[in-house]
Amino acid sequence: MKRLIWALPLVALFGACSKDAGEGGKAEIRGRVIEQRYNSNGVAVGVPYPLAEQNVYIIYGDATEGTFPDDNVDTGPDGTFRFKWLRKGNYTIYTMSECDTCASGARPTYARVEIGDRKEVVETGDLLVENF
């Protein structure tokens, strides 16, 4: 009986713990970055193509735009990326495009995703980078 009395608070304590979005799970987010080039007149040149070695960033949770990223990866030769070992929750994925009218010279392209299952693989779809 004494064991049961000690076990109940422990079950309540560990059962009440909820983990936020971030590393430490078995889920993953995948996607691809494609680039569209523009000439000096702002006219698209060619067709979009996979962009290799592009930084892709992730923000854990419901953070707002402008928040510092929690992690980043580079795209592979085929423009694909993935963030592995994530827990359930909301995430913001983004990469940067050139911007000739922005003070910083760069503009983010965002994708917001939710992981709902602990082993889920979520696809962001293509993130379009526009460069001049």
Has residue 8 been placed in a domain? no
Number of folded domains in the chain?
Answer: 1
Has residue 1 been placed in a domain? no
Has residue 11 been placed in a domain? no
Has residue 101 been placed in a domain? yes
Which residue range(s) make up the domain with 101?
Answer: 20-131
Query: Average model confidence (pLDDT) for the chain?
Result: 88
Strands (E), the chain: 23-38, 44-50, 55-60, 71-74, 80-86, 89-98, 106-115, 121-131
Has residue 48 been placed in a domain? yes
Has residue 82 been placed in a domain? yes
pLDDT in tens, 54-100: 999 999 998 776 689 999 999 999 999 999 999 999 999 999 999 88
CATH assignment at residue 25: 2.60.40.10
Q: Which residues pair with 16 in a beta bridge?
A: none
Has residue 85 been placed in a domain? yes
Distance in angstroms (rounded) separating the CA atoms of residues 98 and 107: 6
Report residue 99 as tokens: 């911007």
What pLDDT, on the 0 to 100 scale, is given for residue 63? Answer: 78
